[in-house]
Structure 1
Amino acid sequence: MLDLQKLMGQMQGMSEQLQREAQQLTAKLDRAQLLWQQASLQQDLLCQASYQWRDRFSFNAAVPVERMEQVQAIAPISHSHLVLATDGSQIAPSRHEIAYCYLINIGRVAITYNAGIYPLLDNRPEVFYKTEDLYKSRQWGIQTEQWMTLKRTVAETVALADLALEMRSPHLPTLAFSDGALIHWEFDEIPAEARSLLLTDILSAWDRLRSQDIPLAGYISAPRAAEITNFLRLAICPFEQPDCQSHCNQKPLDHAPCSQIQPLRDGTLWNRLLKVGECSPLWRSQARILQEYGEHQIYFCYLHVGTEIARVEMPAWTALNPNLRSQALQIILAQVQKGYGYPVALAEAHNQAVVTGSDRRRFFAILEQQMVKSGLRNITTSYKESRKRSSIA
């Protein structure tokens, strides 16, 4: 049990540190706002430098595809429309349980507004127990637990595409909604063969959505990205050629000439630049993993939904189509308003997907019954697991 009394002194020091950081952040935000005005005047030049030298940057900078000063007011959709969302949860494998396996549960939601149609709220569980499911990833140096998480990401995307095509209504504005980023940064950390295996299924699912002109958007609450503020760093680079590896490779990151606004997040900057209901201009990410996305390049914008600044990511076929992009943003804003600060469909998809502690216990109880029926004997958890379940504390 946590001893809260012993934490009190540490909490005081933590609050004082956070206060100092808040004061420093305000100064950096003022500086970033001034840089924003300067960068907007030389946007074309900075974009050219970004494309030319991006392989030599020590940071990842996005590039604006619209004028930086362009801000759009978004009105929430008011007529009939359809929102589709999926989310996932899992039971992780444990060698202390009666069997080494894992479960992925995908929550599915389809809500039709102003059409008198009952919403679809369900989930699709799948258990993985075969040798190829548990140990195939070891050949790439990926642990089973990490592989399960990556497989869950793929399953969420495939389920969303399946649901969209199943529920599609040609004359009804629709949005396929994903909780979190469409840029899978985590894939960049695994070997190419494994990455290709996962991305193939994701991109195929996106192909199906694109073929039916169903817009797709990823909603990121409390975003921590710094791709736009990194773009501003180009405006204060003192070198004619912004080559970080040549000029600043030997310096600590916080001593580089362009680090004066770091670690300022994009969302913090847009919180000052946007009013409620306004959307930032469109930006194109230059994340390295996108080199393997083919035609599905990812663009993003920031939307002031009232309660927060949200990052909205969209593939090219949605972002560069004015009608689909506007449709997606209008539905997103309506979803946030209906959900009192967070999109209804995403919250319900999470509720459908979540696996509780009691769910986990029932899952292993059912598994034990099936194993006994199959003639297996001496089925039990490890002594460690048994002792934890019967603590004397």
Structure 2
Amino acid sequence: MPINFQGLSQHIQSLAKELRTDLPDRRAILDEAIALFNSLDEDTIEAARDAQSTTQRLPWLVARPLTYPLDAKTAAPPPPHHFIVAAADGSNMPPDRHTSIQFYVINTGMVWLEYGGTAQCELETETTLYYQTEDLYLDGEARQYPVEGSRLSARMAIAELHALRRAVEEARHRIPDTPIVALLDGTLILWTIQTEPDQVRKPLLEEYLQVLDWFAEQHIPVASYISDSGSYELTNLLRIAICARQTTCCRPPTPPATEGPLALCRSLERIRDAALMRRHLSPGERSILFASESQILKHYREHEVRFFYMHTGEEIARVEIPDWVAQDPDLLALTHAALWDQCRRSGSQPPYPPALHEAHECAVLSTQDRQNILNLIEEELARYQISIQWSAKSMHKRLRGV
């Protein structure tokens, strides 16, 4: 039996009991948090940020407001009568170190949907097999820095952005002179390579930024959509604002406070930005713009990432955009309008952009897809009397006898 259901059941019961007990406290914390959020002014926030920047660097990210008041919100404008939404997504089949033939696969789905015109659309999938030494290693000559894990994630993000550009180019060719919004799923921040050495980070980031350069030159807004964001950057902003008002600090070795503002500071560790924004925003509304302070963004040039939260009608989405989109009121309004329009087109399903859903369906690699790819490779190699050798560990997994 691969799962000890009896032991697992006990843990599940404990989890449910803890969450049930936590509900009243969580509601009270959210009430306090939204009251604080509504009361903070620019002077308080900037003083808190200045105080934080002169002390030890915090171990968590803090949102930087780009406009004030903090609690301002914007209703979604109506979309253009005629516009296009393009989207791209990706999945991958990572390299398997237990095989004698090393390769990986990146599968990208690209979609564009026309609204208000002749209702044209295009869905396409591109599947690429990477097997050359320069594909498998970021330093192919020395065989250093294999493309796996976070590096493969970065490669896929770049492939998705290239696919998005191709979708936009095709849409513009077919339907010229029509507003386009370009969407990606997930984040625009390549944080997975933030700690990589320069010889790894620089070429990956430069290729990514070059594609963003094209979108900026074409004046086509790019936005990434994060469903039910798990970020804490906004609640972390509330935490440093609390600390700026206190004469003592809640960080160790000071004993945790049990009441008052410092107790709220400690409690906010458990509150996601989405929970706070669900209290603040109404369906279709967005928050003010914030700047992310991920370290890798220092290398993003004019593409530094800004973000806002949007109420989709059911959940709170985090929307990330490059700075040049944030600085252009027309592009920002077009992005907001298109996203709200997309969420309202979800039908009976939870609100989520249909363009992103279709791109995901094109890109996803099922278990059977992965096996079919492997079978094709093995069949083609067999024509040349070449066979893939599997490690003993892998063979035991495939041919389990007990």
Secondary structure at 2:113 match in 1? strand
Taking structure 1 as the reference length, the TM-score comes to 0.89
| Counterpart in the other structure of 2:359 | 349
Residues 84, 176 of structure 1: 8 Å contact kept: yes
Instruction: State yes or no: 1:287 paired with 2:294.
Output: yes
The corresponding residue for 1:70 is 72
Three-state SS of the structure 2 residue aligned to 1:105 is strand
Q: Does 1:362 align with 2:364?
A: no
2:196 is the counterpart of 1:194? no
Alignment map for 1:271-286 (pairs within 5 Å):
271-286=278-293
The aligned runs of 1:1-393 (5 Å cut-off) are: 1-39=2-40, 42-47=41-46, 49-50=48-49, 53-54=52-53, 56-58=56-58, 59-66=60-67, 67-75=69-77, 77=79, 79-97=81-99, 99-136=101-138, 144-168=148-172, 169-238=175-244, 248=251, 257=262, 258-339=265-346, 340=349, 341-373=351-383, 375-391=384-400
| Inter-partner Cα distance in structure 1 for 2:253 and 2:57 | 14
Q: CA deviation at 1:284?
A: 1.7
8 A contact 2:34–2:276 mirrored in 1: yes
Moved more, 265-274 or 149-158: 149-158
Counterpart-to-counterpart distance in 1, 2:6 and 2:78: 48
How has the CA–CA distance of structure 1 residues 109 and 378 changed in structure 2, closer, same or farther, with 3 Å as cutoff?
closer
1:159 and 1:31, CA in 2 relative to 1: closer, same or farther beyond 3 A?
A: same
Q: Counterpart of 1:227 in structure 2: which amino acid?
A: E
Alignment partners' CA distance in 2, 1:115 and 1:372: 51
Whether the 8 Å contact between 1:92 and 1:103 is mirrored in structure 2 is: yes
Aligned-pair CA distance for 1:203: 0.8
d(CA) in 2 for partners of 1:193, 1:13: 47
Provide the aligned length of Structure 1 versus Structure 2: 387
Q: String of CA shifts for 1:199-252, please: whole Å, max 9, x gaps.
A: 10111111100111101111011111111111112321157899x8xx947569
* C-alpha contact 1:98 1:364 (8 A) present in aligned 2: no
Contact 2:135 2:147 in 1 (8 A): no
Aligned partners of 1:105 and 1:354 also within 8 Å: yes
1:246-285 deviation line (CA, Å, top 9, x unaligned)? x947569999944342232111101001111211111122
CA, structure 1 residues 34+110, in 2 after alignment: closer, same or farther (shift >3 Å)?
Answer: same
3-state SS of the aligned residue for 1:73?
Answer: coil
2:134 maps to amino acid: E
Q: Any stretches of 5+ residues in structure 2 without a counterpart? A: none
Please report how far the alpha carbon of residue 345 of structure 1 lies from its aligned counterpart in structure 2 after TM superposition: 0.8
Could you tell me how far apart the structure 2 residues matched to 1:129 and 1:18 are?
48
Does the CA contact (< 8 Å) of 2:133 and 2:143 recur in 1?
no
Q: 1:212 to 1:238 in 2, by over 3 A?
A: closer
Separation in structure 1 between the aligned mates of residue 81 and residue 253 of structure 2, nearest angstrom: 57
TM-aligned CA distance change 1:253 to 1:78, over 3 Å: farther
Aligned counterparts of 1:259 and 1:141: Cα–Cα separation in 2: 40
Give unmatched runs, 5+ long, in structure 1. Answer: none
1:288, CA displacement in angstroms? 1.7
C-alpha displacement of 1:392: 5.2
Q: Structure 1's 129 and 37: CA in aligned 2 closer, same or farther, altered over 3 A?
A: same
Identity %: 32
